[in-house]
């Protein structure tokens, strides 16, 4: 999606003098019309020019045009195309420093050193490139998991199509909540408002109308056109497609700007900043080391080499790739668990979620509505049978009802007529299309012996006011025959009762019945009607303001999803509060809340919320868990109130009016099946199964991703610091020796080229596997991470210091001991080679042991299952193989100055390296004890 700034840029490009040249690249037939000023033509003229009709194209025509014009998709310039990704890898200060070092080393005659540094650069760039490229593709692929569909007319029949299939000339229906699929000229509109921020940057919806406008009207003033990529915020309309795919206005902008999939998250940004500081700090340290070396009398080339080595060894060049991989794995695993990430930062934020605010219907419940109770002033009935199968019957006090009482018949008939759903039943199985609440009304009518089709034919609909969450009612105007018409009204009881005459049923009796039904967790719809004279042709708002007679109540059950009860419990264990937010009645909400385990606190209604000031609201938002009769605008206030208390809020929503709350929430969650396009566009994640449990899975994945990032940091940083410590310590304190070619240099526990070797092989083979680590056993029994926790947390810093010291002390100590004892036996030169090889081996083995310890942040490795992450062992195996080559292959011995080791030396190296095991074990025990005493 384009941001405001980009839209401004686009407007600058579209100055009248900068007309698009390709608009005149006219191909025959329809292409010739691509430049037409559609907005200046009447609807009929537009239909004619695109060779279409008000009832739409035929399938045959559509197929031909699809071949001619291609699918309705934007061929965007790929921000994540291979060259750009490669450029991003190279365009990185860490890499420049490394490249500079390589050149310098070669210039100093240290060709091997230079080549190893170059290998480090190439390897890291390659891994970074492959991973980021794949991650980018995976994220782009996600968009395809939430398909866009449109309702089009083909030869007069409404069909549901993939937006891709649209061609110029297609006639499309628009309703509030839709995303406009292509550039279109309106041919009918009713209160149609469209938000065109995607094109113009202007987020106030534009009212759309039919009359032609001046030919030179600016884009924003072409009020009879709707543009692809914009959003219908209210009303309905019908329009004919005039441009698809890249020829749309949006297509032209995208071609100019390309679309960026934002690969940045708070963590990657923080790491990039840390990386920059670290690079500067390391460069300064390198210069200091150069100075120290020179002061101690080094030859300049040797002093420069240690400085270069420090820079290369201390920079954690592998980190960016690790972070990208961990995030990409998270995105893919979430998608596999039905949560499609739309904005990458959500992967991280999910892990720190503290409150989940969820809709009830369909998310916490199954959205399989079945009417179970009927009430009219004449009496009440229960209905047997569940689901959409029309088997079942009306009962009264346990007895089957033979003939349908008149009032019940009227109640049921009104429910069928004031209804947009349809019912298909075959072989005892039923299915509905449309709103499940309305589907239930059809099923119960059939059970009682009424025929939906017949009723709808006999009492044809003249007009309707569709259901909207804010209004909580729907009304229709139907023929009654003989010049008589009726208005039927159904909706929430309060809303309907307000519009009824006082005579008829005593409100007390109605309210008592309502309480009884709602107390059982039933959703209750009230149904009313009034007669009007035949002259009225349409429904105006004032027609439904009053004068109705209450026909009765229908109570329907919508059972909680079985798995949600466990998921709510899991949230509570994980320190995450769950709040149910529903448009339903207080009593219904309370009962369902109880069944789901959201019992604490009082049920708060939207009306009560509206009366609270911000401070009171904060208190109520924290202490209550069930919110009933809530309108979309209350949701926004609730999110803000929770955020004011430093909560990280995930909020679900499906309607157009939920968009502001979804945007405000830290994690906006849209519904893949029932959600409107508008809500999906505003969301950070989309649930492809509409299920609450999926949010909890996503939170779990989010926590795992963050854990793995922390593990990777805690593994990588000590290696870099440890190597830097060894180098700095030896330059500063080790004895100076005479070089064969003249001049002075230090005795070093490892040669510069050996440092580089460790850097080359270990980061790649060992750090990456941690990104694949499975979740830890108590992942969802921990409280959420504080969002303010810095990336370099106390834990990471402390661990880095401890592990680096152990590693440096071990390598330096072992080298010194081995060098001393062996010099007498084999002479200084031979002893040095052997001791250095042992020091390198110790560091490598240290890393292997330390890696195993890093697999779990808190617990012991054995609780995780030693072999639960095979990739770790793949990495270890690869590393050992390389190390064997390093020690035993003659050409490697020559390149890296190594000597073959015997069993005793291997054993000793392993023993020293293994010191890290009890050290980290003790550190974990200490941290766990502190955490336990803190809680």
Stretch that binds ligand ATP, among 115-123, 180-188, 232-240, 577-585 (CB under 6 A): 577-585
Stretch that binds ligand ATP, among 543-551, 578-586, 602-610, 870-878 (CB under 6 A): 578-586
Q: How far is the CB of 235 from ligand ATP (least distance, A)?
A: 18
Contact status, residue 135 vs residue 333, Cβ threshold 8 Å: no
Check binding of 513 to ligand ATP (CB under 6 A).
no
Check binding of 583 to ligand ATP (CB under 6 A).
yes
Stretch that binds ligand ATP, among 239-247, 287-295, 433-441, 709-717 (CB under 6 A): 433-441
Shorter beta-carbon distance to ligand ATP: residue 589 or 853: 589
List, in order, residues 6 or more apart from 930 with CB less than 8 Å away: none
Distance CA 17, CA 142 (A): 39
Out of 359, 584, 658, 707, pick the active-site residue.
Answer: 359
Longest CA–CA separation in the chain, Å: 121
Interacting positions 64-103 with ligand ATP (CB under 6 A): none
For residue 531, the surrounding DSSP H or E stretch is strand 523-533
Shorter beta-carbon distance to ligand ATP: residue 247 or 361: 361
Interacting positions 798-817 with ligand ATP (CB under 6 A): none
Distance CA 735, CA 748 (A): 9
Binding mask 441-480 for ligand ATP (x = CB under 6 A): --------------------------x-x--xxx------
- The SS3 assignment for 523 reads strand
Q: How far is the CB of 464 from ligand ATP (least distance, A)?
A: 11
Which of 324, 437, 591, 720 is in the footprint of ligand ATP by CB under 6 A?
Answer: 437
Check binding of 579 to ligand ATP (CB under 6 A).
no
Look-up of token digits 């395809």: 144
Stretch that binds ligand ATP, among 5-13, 42-50, 435-443, 889-897 (CB under 6 A): 435-443
Q: How far is the CB of 372 from ligand ATP (least distance, A)?
A: 15
Which of 131, 193, 223, 582 is in the footprint of ligand ATP by CB under 6 A?
Answer: 582
- The SS3 assignment for 203 reads coil
Helical spans, DSSP H, in 197-263: 197-200, 249-257
Stretch that binds ligand ATP, among 400-408, 508-516, 583-591, 702-710 (CB under 6 A): 583-591
Interacting positions 8-27 with ligand ATP (CB under 6 A): none
Q: Which two tokens stand for residue 263?
A: 């690969």
Q: How far is the CB of 564 from ligand ATP (least distance, A)?
A: 13
Q: How far is the CB of 367 from ligand ATP (least distance, A)?
A: 8
Which of 170, 196, 302, 435 is in the footprint of ligand ATP by CB under 6 A?
Answer: 435
List C-alpha distances in Å: 777 to 306, 595, 782, 928: 44, 28, 10, 15
Q: How far is the CB of 419 from ligand ATP (least distance, A)?
A: 8
Shorter beta-carbon distance to ligand ATP: residue 518 or 571: 518
Shorter beta-carbon distance to ligand ATP: residue 316 or 362: 362
Q: How far is the CB of 360 from ligand ATP (least distance, A)?
A: 3
Among residues 801, 795, 836, the alpha carbon closest in space to that of 817 is found at 836
Check binding of 492 to ligand ATP (CB under 6 A).
yes
Which of 197, 271, 307, 525 is in the footprint of ligand ATP by CB under 6 A?
Answer: 525
Q: Which two tokens stand for residue 538?
A: 């349409």
Among residues 103, 413, 300, the alpha carbon closest in space to that of 745 is found at 300
Q: How far is the CB of 37 from ligand ATP (least distance, A)?
A: 41
DSSP 359: E
CB half-sphere exposure, 371, CA atoms < 13 A: 34
Does the CA dihedral 138-141-142-143 come out positive or negative? positive
Which of 293, 491, 702, 718 is in the footprint of ligand ATP by CB under 6 A?
Answer: 491
Q: How far is the CB of 433 from ligand ATP (least distance, A)?
A: 13
Please count the other Cβ atoms lying within 10 Å of the Cβ belonging to residue 463. Answer: 16
- With helix as H, strand as E and coil as C, how does 767-796 read? HHHHHHCCCCCCHHHCCCCCCCCCCCCHHH
Torsion region of 292: left, alpha or beta (phi above 0 gives left; psi -120 to 50 gives alpha): alpha
DSSP notation for 867-918: TS-HHHHHHHHHHHHHHHHHHH-HHHHHHHT-----HHHHHHHHHHHTTHHH
φ, ψ for residue 144, nearest 5 deg: -75, -15
Q: Crossing angle of helices 111-143/319-336, nearest 10°?
A: 20
Shorter beta-carbon distance to ligand ATP: residue 352 or 582: 582
Q: How far is the CB of 691 from ligand ATP (least distance, A)?
A: 13
Shorter beta-carbon distance to ligand ATP: residue 669 or 726: 669
Q: How far is the CB of 349 from ligand ATP (least distance, A)?
A: 23
Stretch that binds ligand ATP, among 30-38, 206-214, 451-459, 484-492 (CB under 6 A): 484-492
DSSP-derived pairing of the beta strands 183-195 and 225-226: antiparallel
Distance CA 857, CA 714 (A): 9
List, in order, residues 6 or more apart from 128 with CB less than 8 Å away: 89, 320, 321, 324
Contact status, residue 686 vs residue 342, Cβ threshold 8 Å: yes
Shorter beta-carbon distance to ligand ATP: residue 118 or 686: 686
Distance CA 24, CA 18 (A): 13
359 an active-site residue? Answer: yes
Q: Which two tokens stand for residue 896?
A: 């890296």
Contact status, residue 458 vs residue 480, Cβ threshold 8 Å: no
Shorter beta-carbon distance to ligand ATP: residue 380 or 469: 469
DSSP-derived pairing of the beta strands 736-738 and 744-746: antiparallel
Look-up of token digits 């990495």: 875
Shorter beta-carbon distance to ligand ATP: residue 523 or 711: 523
- The SS3 assignment for 102 reads helix
Stretch that binds ligand ATP, among 446-454, 489-497, 673-681, 700-708 (CB under 6 A): 489-497
φ, ψ for residue 862, nearest 5 deg: -75, -25
Shorter beta-carbon distance to ligand ATP: residue 124 or 624: 624
Q: How far is the CB of 876 from ligand ATP (least distance, A)?
A: 50
Contact status, residue 219 vs residue 200, Cβ threshold 8 Å: yes
Distance CA 503, CA 858 (A): 70
- The SS3 assignment for 552 reads strand
Q: Which residue is nearest to ligand ATP (CB)?
A: 583
Q: How far is the CB of 359 from ligand ATP (least distance, A)?
A: 4
Shorter beta-carbon distance to ligand ATP: residue 196 or 435: 435
Shorter beta-carbon distance to ligand ATP: residue 302 or 558: 558
Beta bridge pairs of residue 837: none
Shorter beta-carbon distance to ligand ATP: residue 635 or 647: 635
Among residues 527, 498, 522, 489, the alpha carbon closest in space to that of 407 is found at 527
Binding mask 347-376 for ligand ATP (x = CB under 6 A): ------------xxx---------------
Count of residues in contact with ligand ATP, rule CB under 6 A? 20
Among residues 106, 94, 243, 221, the alpha carbon closest in space to that of 172 is found at 243
Check binding of 438 to ligand ATP (CB under 6 A).
yes
Stretch that binds ligand ATP, among 403-411, 434-442, 838-846, 911-919 (CB under 6 A): 434-442
Residues near ligand ATP, by CB under 6 A = 359-361, 435, 437-438, 467, 469, 472-474, 490-492, 523, 525, 582-585
Q: What residues are labeled active site?
A: 359
């Amino acid at each position: 999606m384009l941001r405001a700034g980009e839209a401004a840029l686009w407007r600058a490009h579209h100055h009248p003098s900068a007309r698009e040249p390709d608009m005149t690249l006219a191909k025959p037939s329809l292409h010739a019309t691509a430049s037409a000023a559609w907005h200046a033509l009447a609807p009929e003229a537009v239909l004619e020019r695109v060779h279409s009709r008000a009832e739409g194209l035929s399938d045959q025509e559509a197929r031909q045009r699809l071949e001619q014009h291609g699918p309705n998709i934007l061929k965007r310039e790929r921000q994540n195309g291979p060259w750009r990704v490669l450029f991003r890898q190279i365009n990185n200060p860490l890499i420049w420093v490394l490249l500079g070092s390589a050149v310098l080393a070669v210039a100093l005659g240290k060709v091997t050193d230079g080549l190893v540094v170059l290998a480090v650069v190439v390897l890291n760039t390659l891994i970074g490139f492959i991973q980021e490229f794949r991650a980018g593709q995976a994220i782009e692929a996600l968009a395809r998991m939430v398909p866009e569909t449109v309702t089009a007319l083909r030869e007069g029949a409404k069909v549901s199509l993939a937006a891709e299939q649209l061609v110029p000339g297609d006639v499309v229906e628009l309703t509030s909540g839709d995303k406009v699929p292509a550039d279109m000229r309106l041919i009918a509109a009713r209160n149609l408002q469209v938000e065109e921020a995607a094109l113009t940057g202007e987020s106030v919806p534009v009212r759309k109308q039919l009359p032609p406008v001046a030919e030179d009207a600016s884009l924003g003033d072409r009020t009879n056109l709707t543009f692809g990529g914009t959003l219908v915020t209210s009303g309905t309309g019908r329009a004919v497609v005039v441009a698809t795919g890249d020829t749309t206005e949006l297509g032209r902008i995208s071609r100019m700007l390309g679309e960026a999939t934002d690969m940045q998250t708070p963590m990657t940004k923080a790491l990039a900043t840390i990386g920059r500081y670290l690079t500067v700090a390391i460069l300064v340290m390198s210069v200091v080391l150069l100075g120290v070396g020179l002061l101690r009398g080094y030859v300049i080339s040797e002093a420069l080499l240690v400085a270069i080595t420090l820079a290369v060894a201390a920079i954690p060049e592998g980190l960016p790739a690790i972070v990208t991989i961990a995030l990409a794995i998270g995105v893919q695993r979430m998608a596999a668990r039905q949560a499609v990430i739309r904005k990458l930062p959500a992967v991280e934020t999910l892990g720190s979620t503290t409150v989940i605010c969820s809709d009830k219907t369909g998310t916490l419940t199954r959205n399989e509505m079945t009417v179970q109770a009927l009430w009219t002033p004449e009496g009440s009935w229960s209905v047997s049978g569940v689901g959409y199968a029309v088997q079942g019957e009306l009962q009264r006090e346990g007895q089957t009802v033979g003939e349908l009482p008149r009032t019940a018949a009227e109640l049921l008939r009104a429910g069928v007529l004031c209804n947009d759903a349809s019912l298909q039943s075959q072989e005892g199985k039923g299915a509905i299309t449309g709103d499940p609440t309305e589907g239930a009304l059809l099923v119960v009518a059939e059970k009682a012996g009424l025929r939906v089709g017949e009723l709808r034919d006999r009492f044809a609909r003249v007009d309707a006011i569709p259901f909207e969450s804010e209004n909580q009612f729907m009304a229709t105007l139907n023929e009654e025959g003989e010049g008589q018409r009726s208005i039927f009204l159904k909706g929430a009881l309060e809303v309907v009762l307000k519009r009824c005459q006082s005579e008829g049923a005593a409100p007390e009796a109605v309210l008592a019945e309502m309480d009884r039904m709602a107390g059982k967790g039933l959703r209750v719809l009230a149904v009313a009607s009034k007669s009007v004279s035949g002259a009225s042709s349409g429904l105006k708002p004032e027609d439904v303001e009053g004068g109705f007679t209450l026909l009765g109540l229908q109570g329907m059950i919508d059972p909680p999803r079985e798995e949600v009860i466990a998921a709510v419990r899991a949230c509570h264990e994980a320190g995450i509060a769950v709040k149910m937010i529903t448009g339903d009645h207080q009593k219904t909400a309370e009962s369902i809340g109880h069944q789901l385990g959201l019992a604490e606190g009082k049920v708060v209604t939207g009306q009560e919320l509206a009366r609270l000031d911000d401070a009171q609201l904060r208190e109520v938002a924290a202490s209550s868990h069930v919110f009933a009769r809530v309108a979309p605008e209350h949701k926004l206030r609730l999110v803000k109130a929770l955020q004011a208390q430093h909560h990280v809020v995930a909020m679900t929503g499906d309607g157009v009016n939920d968009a502001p709350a979804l945007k405000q929430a830290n994690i906006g969650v849209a519904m893949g099946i029932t959600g409107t396009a508008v809500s999906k566009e505003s969301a950070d994640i989309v649930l492809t199964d509409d299920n609450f449990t999926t949010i909890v899975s996503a939170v779990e994945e989010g926590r795992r991703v963050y854990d793995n990032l922390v593990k990777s940091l805690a593994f990588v940083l000590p290696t870099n610091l440890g190597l830097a410590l060894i180098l700095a310590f030896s330059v500063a304190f080790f004895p100076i020796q005479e070089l064969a070619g003249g001049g002075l240099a230090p005795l070093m526990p490892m040669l510069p080229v050996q440092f580089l070797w460790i850097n080359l092989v270990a980061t790649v083979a060992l750090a990456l596997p941690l990104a694949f680590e499975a979740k830890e056993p108590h992942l969802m029994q921990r409280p959420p991470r504080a969002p303010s926790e810095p990336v370099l947390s106390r834990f990471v810093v402390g661990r880095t210091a401890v592990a680096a010291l152990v590693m440096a002390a071990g390598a330096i100590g072992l080298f010194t001991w081995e060098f001393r004892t062996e010099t007498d036996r084999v002479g200084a030169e031979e002893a040095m080679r052997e001791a250095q090889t042992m020091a390198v081996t110790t560091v490598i083995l240290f890393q292997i042991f330390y890696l195993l310890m890093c697999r779990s942040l808190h617990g012991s490795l054995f609780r995780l299952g030693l072999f639960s992450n095979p990739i770790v062992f793949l990495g270890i195996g690869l590393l050992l193989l390389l190390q064997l080559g390093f020690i035993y292959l003659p050409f490697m011995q020559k390149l890296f100055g190594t000597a073959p080791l015997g069993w005793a030396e291997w054993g000793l190296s392993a023993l020293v390296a293994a010191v890290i095991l009890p050290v980290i074990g003790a550190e974990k025990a200490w941290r766990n004890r502190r955490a336990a005493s803190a809680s």
